[in-house]
Amino acid sequence: MNPLQPLQPPDLSKRQAPRRFWLLALFAAATAAIVSACKTAPESVAPVAAPAPAPAPEPGGVVGPVPAAMGSARSSSASNPKAYRQDGASHLYGLNAERIYKGRLPPLLYAIGVLNIEIDRVGRVTKLDWLRAPRHAPEVMAEIEQFVRSASPFPAPTRLGKVIYTDTWLWHKSGRFQLDTLTEGQD
């Protein structure tokens, strides 16, 4: 080696080839793991017992909720809490039709509350949990809780076993309300 000759960097191409191979193999394995994790097993559906005779249809041909003492007029075939939310909201609307605010809500509401409702396999309310409680209006909180408890049993979540679903209560100063799931909008 000549002391006056500049140093040459070592040839890295031979060392990088195995590293690139391992990086490529690691990337391929990670991709395969992600793809295989995305696959779901086929959903097994438990046999459902024959439904109880439903009440006579209303004039529009739709069977809605019935008073809580008689139980729910139907069961829910929802496969996730978001789908069950529609069934729960329509059940509450059917039992409280006189309290539903008709039309679009005004821009300022008296209270807004977000409530988790836990329903067991037969439709009974087992737990209520406020995510956003309208603490400035404790009478509204009490009334909402009373509405939900008196509406029990809800449609039985036959495919879910039990369900915890969330809905937002939009409360007008008149004492009428809409649920976010079935709202007609707000000005």
- The pTM is what? 0.61
Note the pLDDT of residue 73: 54
Alpha-helical regions (H) of 96-165: 138-150
Note the pLDDT of residue 39: 55
HSE value, Cβ hemisphere, 13 Å, CA-based, for 147 = 26
Distances (CA, A) of 46 to 42, 49, 102: 13, 10, 40
Alpha-helical regions (H) of 45-124: 81-95
Domain ranges of the chain: 68-180
Note the pLDDT of residue 61: 41
3-state secondary structure of 85: helix
Whether the link from the prior residue into 153 is cis, omega within 30° of 0, is: yes
| pLDDT < 70 regions, the chain | 1-23, 30, 32-73
Give burial (CB, 10 Å; 0-12/13-18/19+) of 109. Answer: middle
Could you give phi then psi for residue 112, rounded to 5 degrees?
A: -135, 130
Q: Are 20 and 26 spatial neighbours (Cβ–Cβ below 8 Å)?
A: no
Note the pLDDT of residue 134: 94
Domain 68-180: CATH class, spelled out? alpha beta
Note the pLDDT of residue 149: 94
Give burial (CB, 10 Å; 0-12/13-18/19+) of 50. Answer: exposed
